[in-house]
Structure 1
Amino acid sequence: MARPRSAGASARPGWRDRHGRGMRSAVTGPQLPLLHSRADLFDMTVASTAEYLKDIWPDELANVSFEVAGLPSAVGDSGGIDRWHVIAPERRVILYRLPIERLAHLHHHDDLHRRMLIESCVFRAVAELLGKDPWDLAPERFRHL
């Protein structure tokens, strides 16, 4: 025999009001948006890495803009697909999300290794912009005592 629906029950199938406590909500509450997609995580990683590098090189990266695009509009000069594009006169660095994520050959497919891949692409793009080696951008970061 079917049980009658309570007046507070949701019209969506699969959602229910458990024990009169109301609908379940996200742990973070309504104040903070959740990161649901890989694109959001990619954008956040690029932004945090760019801020880290701007803190280390404030004069050299003062007016540099970091942008994220899905794909490059054309095939790269080497015949492959570019992961980033540096426009030095305009002080712009464009990172292409899909080639970075999809063409990577990670030995571990987890969040840490994906984040390290994105950070390394940002480092290499900034190194290209500044004319430096990527390892020289943050030498203290790699020095173990």
Structure 2
Amino acid sequence: MPRSRRASSEPPAAARWRNRHGRGARGPVTGPHLPMLHNRIDLFDMTVAATADYLKGIWPAELEHVRFEVAAAPINAVGPDGVERWRVDPRERRIILFRVPIQRLSKLHRNDELHQRMLVESCVFRAVAELLGKDPWDLAPERFRHY
């Protein structure tokens, strides 16, 4: 038997404030005294920012006004060389890194946090090298010299 519909002045259930069993709004899972959980997007953004800061410290004049941006994916899904991992715009001094192609389409021999971070760092290095017209290995030669 179908229920009758009543006209009500109350907002719909989805619009009301969430008050589950009188306990108030939901809080973070980790609680107020623990750090927030990090997800793949946060780790990707932090890795790009840290690598960009490192390279700006080595090449301050060349990377002074360069903007590093992160986007989910390129607008054109497939180009002539496949799916783009990054885009360099030398006129606007901008580097855009595409998170989904870097994380999902790259084949890693070990899929752990260290290797994922190294993959993101290598993409930032290659994008900066493309912008500066240099070889990625020449951007930080002291970093890769082993004694």
Relative to the length of structure 1, the TM-score reads 0.77
Q: How many residues align?
A: 123
Match of 1:29 in 2: 33
- The 3-state SS of whatever aligns with 1:54 is helix
- Alignment of 1:83 onto 2:85: yes
CA distance in 2, matches of 1:61, 1:114: 25
Relative to the length of structure 2, the TM-score reads 0.76
CA distance in 2, matches of 1:29, 1:49: 29
Deviation at 1:144, TM superposition (A): 1.2
Are the structure 2 counterparts of residues 112 and 76 from structure 1 closer, same or farther at C-alpha, using a change threshold of 3 Å?
Answer: same
1:75-116 deviations in Å (ceiling 9; x for gaps): 454241000000000000000000000001000010000000
- Can you give the 5+ residue segments of structure 2 that lack an aligned partner in the other structure? 1-19, 23-28
Task: Answer whether contact 2:71 2:99 (CA < 8 A) is retained.
Answer: yes
- The 3-state SS of whatever aligns with 2:111 is coil
CA distance in 2, matches of 1:27, 1:131: 48
Are the structure 2 counterparts of residues 28 and 112 from structure 1 closer, same or farther at C-alpha, using a change threshold of 3 Å?
Answer: farther
CA distance in 2, matches of 1:82, 1:61: 22
- The 3-state SS of whatever aligns with 2:97 is strand
Match of 1:111 in 2: 113
In the alignment, residue 133 of structure 1 is paired with which amino acid? Answer: D
Q: Of 48, 70, 88, which aligns to 1:46?
A: 48
- The 3-state SS of whatever aligns with 1:139 is coil
In the alignment, residue 81 of structure 1 is paired with which amino acid? Answer: V
- The 3-state SS of whatever aligns with 1:68 is strand
CA distance in 1, matches of 2:82, 2:32: 42
